Amino acid sequence: MSRWEPNARERLAKAALELYSERGYERTTVAEIAKQAGLTERTFFRHYADKREVLFDGSNHLQDLFVKAVGEAPPSAAPIDVVAAALEAVSEVFVDRRPFARKRQAVITANAELRERELIKLASLSAALTEALRLRGIAEPAASLTAEAGIAVFRVGFERWVAPGEERPMWPLMREALAALKAVTAGA
Amino acid sequence: MSRWEPNARERLAKAALELYSERGYERTTVAEIAKQAGLTERTFFRHYADKREVLFDGSNHLQDLFVKAVGEAPPSAAPIDVVAAALEAVSEVFVDRRPFARKRQAVITANAELRERELIKLASLSAALTEALRLRGIAEPAASLTAEAGIAVFRVGFERWVAPGEERPMWPLMREALAALKAVTAGA
DNA sequence: CTGTCGATGTCAGTAACTGTCATCAACGCT
DNA sequence: AGCGTTGATGACAGTTACTGACATCGACAG
Size of interface A-B (CB pairs under 8 A): 97
A2 in contact with nucleic chain C (CB within 7 A): no
Helices (H), A48-169: 59-72, 79-93, 98-109, 112-135, 142-162
Other Cβ atoms closer than 10 A to B171: 19
Q: Residue range B19-35: average pLDDT?
A: 98
Beta-carbon contacts of A101 under 8 Å, excluding residues fewer than 6 positions away, are: A94, A161, A162
* Residue A1 pLDDT > 90: no
> Of all protein residues, which has its CA closest to the C1' atom of C14?
B29
Characterize A57-83 residue by residue with b for buried, 16 or more Cβ atoms within 10 angstroms of its Cβ, and e for exposed.
eebeebbebbbebbeebeeeebbbebb
What are the residue boundaries of the structural domains of chain B, listed by start? 8-54, 58-185
DSSP state of A53: G
CATH topology of domain A8-53: Arc Repressor Mutant, subunit A (1.10.10)
Give the mutation candidate from A145, A154, A156, A178 for the B interface (greatest B CB count, under 10 A): A145
Burial class, B32, CB count within 10 angstroms (exposed 0-12 / middle 13-18 / buried 19+) = middle
CATH code of the domain made up of A58-185: 1.10.357.10
Q: In this predicted model, what pLDDT tens digit does every residue of B157-183 receive, in sequence order?
A: 999 999 999 999 999 999 999 999 999
pLDDT tens digits along A15-59:
999 999 999 999 999 999 999 999 999 999 999 999 999 999 999
The pLDDT tens digits for A95-134 are 999 999 999 999 999 999 999 999 999 999 999 999 999 9
Amino acid at A3: R
The DSSP code sequence of A124-143 is: HHHHHHHHHHHHTTPPTTHH
Q: Please give the Cα distance from B145 to B55 (Å, whole number).
A: 28
User: Which of 3.30.1280.10, 3.20.20.150, 3.40.50.720, 1.10.10.60 would CATH assign to domain B8-54?
Assistant: 1.10.10.60
pLDDT digits (tens, 9 = 90+) for A62-103: 999 999 999 999 999 999 999 999 999 999 999 999 999 999
DSSP B138: P
How far in angstroms lies nucleotide D15's C1' from the CA of residue A28?
13
In tens, the pLDDT along A132-155 reads 999 999 999 999 999 999 999 999
CA distances from B131 to B91, B124, B126 (A): 21, 11, 9
